[in-house]
Amino acid sequence: MQMIRRLLCAVVLVAAARTLHAEDLDRVFDRLESNNRLRGSVAIAEGGKIVYSRAVGLRDAKTKNDATTMFRVGSVTKVFTATLIYQLIDEKKVTLATPLNQFFPQIPNAKQITIAHLLAHTSGLPNFPTPRDYADGWVLQPQTKAAMLKRFAAVTPDFAPGEKISYSNTGYVLLGYVIESVTRSTYDRQLQKRIAKPLGLRRTRYAAAIDARSYDFNDGKWTEHTQEDLSVSAGAGAIVSTSEELARFITGVFDGRLISKTSIREMTTPFSPQLEGGERKGVVVSKLARGADQTIYSHLGGIDAFSANLVYFPETKTAIAITMNAQNFPMNRLFWLLTDTRLGLASQPLSFEGIAIPEATLATYEGVYTFPQIGMDITIRRDGTQLTAQATNQDAFAITAIAPPTDRFDALFWDRSGIVIEFRRDPNGEVSSIALFQGRGELRFKRKP
C-alpha cells in the first residue's frame, strides 16, 4: 500500500508540473523585467518539490538576482513566529490562554491579553511603525528589547482584548520576545533549531545582513530605499529568506513536519465566531476565485521597498512564494498570473506597448475618483481610445492598457512614471473604484456619484 501511495504521489507531481506552462511564465517575467516592473524571484512548489523558479532584475547596482538571493520578507515573518509559538504550545510550555503578564506585566492590559489575542491581532495594542515613527527616524537605528518594551508600555490600547481585529506588529514583536523568554534563548537560535535545520533551509535567517537592496521607481528609474533596522520589526518582520525556501517552509508547516494537526487547526481557525474574517491565528485564510474553488493560506510582507507573498493551497499541497526587492506592478496581479498559469487557466496577456480596449468599455471608466483621507481626486477622461488620469492640482497624464478585462479583474493600465491603475467593479458590474499602485503601495479611490 505504501508503494502504491508513493507511485500515485509521483504521478500527481508529474501531472502538476506539466500544467505549469513554464514557457508562458518565462515570457510574462521577461516582459515584466524588460519594462522595469519588478526585481526579485518567485518559486512554485508541489508537494514540497520546487517545480518552477525564476529570478529577475538586479539585487544591487550591478549583480543579478538568482535563486540563492536572500530578501527581507517583512510580515511573512509572522508565519514563522506563529509556528514557533505553536511548537511551544505542542510542548506544553505555553497555551493559547497564557496571559501576557506572565512575561511582560508592564504592557497595558497584560493580564487580559493572551497568546491567542496576540496571534489573532485582537489584543487591542496599536500597530507600529506610524508615520511619526518614520519622521523621527528611530526605526532606522538599532533598538534593544528593553527600549522596545518601554515604547510598548507607554501605548494606549485601541480597544479591549478580543473586542475586534486590528492588525498589530506590536503583538508579533511581543510574541517573538515570548519565544525568547520561554526558551531562554534567542529568536535566531530557535529559528535555526526548530525550523531551518529540520527543513534544510540554509538561507533563512533572523535579522541577518543581506546583499540585496530594495528600490523605488521614481522618474523612470530605480532609486535605493532607506533600510529599517531589523531589531525594530523583530518577530513581526525581521526574517530574510529566498522564494524557494519560503515555499518549502510553508509546505513543512502544513504537512505536519513542524507543528501538530491540532496546532494547524488552531492556526487556521478564527479567534471567535464573532470575529470571523480572513485573519486567523498566524495566517490569512481565503478562497480562490474563478476556475477552482480552493482554500488559500497566505501572508503578505513588506519592509523598506522589499515585498513578499507566501501562499499555500492545502487541497493540492501547492506553495507559491514571491520575494521582491523592487516592485512596480501590483502584487495581486503577479500572484494571479502565477496561479492562472499553474492551473492552466487563461490569464490576462501583458503588453507594455498597449492593447486595444473597446471605446464603450473605456467610457465606463470615465469619472472622478476620490480619496478623502489624503484630500485627492483623480479624474479619468477619454478621448477616443486614449484614457488620461489627472490628480488634484497636477497635470493630466496618459495611461495605457496592458491587460484587458476578465471575469475577475477589469482592465489594467500604466503610465511610464511607474503608476499602475486598476479599475474595480461592484457586484452589479458598475465601475466603483480604482486601485492605484506605485511600488508596493496601494491607494483605493472611490468613484464619486
**Is it the case that residue 270 has pLDDT exceeding 80?**
yes
Burial 10-43 (b: 16+ CB within 10 A, else e): eeebeebeeebbeeebeebbebbbebbbbbbbbb
**Is it the case that residue 260 has pLDDT exceeding 90?**
yes
Could you say which DSSP state residue 101 is in? Answer: G
**Is it the case that residue 61 has pLDDT exceeding 60?**
yes
Residue among 358, 378, 355 at smallest CA distance from 368: 378
What amino acid is encoded at 378 in this protein? I
Q: Which of 7-16, 202-211, 300-309, 379-388 has the lowest mean pLDDT?
A: 7-16
For residues 100 and 116, the answer to whether their CB atoms sit within 8 Å is no
pLDDT band, residue 17 (cuts 50/70/90): very low
* Segment 362-396, tens digit of pLDDT: 999 999 999 988 889 999 999 999 999 999 999 99
pTM for this predicted structure: 0.90
Question: How far is the C-alpha of 94 from the C-alpha of 99, rounded, in Å?
Answer: 9
Residue among 13, 18, 33, 8 at smallest CA distance from 341: 18
Q: Dmax of the chain from CA atoms?
A: 71
DSSP secondary structure string for all residues of 114-147: BHHHHHTT-S-PPPS--HHHHHHTGGGS---HHH
What amino acid is encoded at 132 in this protein? R
* Segment 351-363, tens digit of pLDDT: 888 899 999 999 9
For residues 327 and 305, the answer to whether their CB atoms sit within 8 Å is yes
At residue 20, the pLDDT reads 55
| Backbone phi and psi for residue 399, each to the nearest 5 degrees, phi listed first | -120, 140
What amino acid is encoded at 408 in this protein? R
For residues 94 and 178, the answer to whether their CB atoms sit within 8 Å is yes
- Quick count: other Cβ atoms within 10 Å of Cβ 72? 31
Question: How far is the C-alpha of 399 from the C-alpha of 417, rounded, in Å?
Answer: 10
pLDDT band, residue 273 (cuts 50/70/90): confident
* Average pLDDT for 121-144: 94
Enumerate the β-bridge partners of residue 444.
Answer: 435
Residue found under cell 481557525: 269
At residue 9, the pLDDT reads 37
Give the mean pLDDT of the chain.
90
On the 0-12 / 13-18 / 19+ scale of CB atoms within 10 A, 355 is: middle
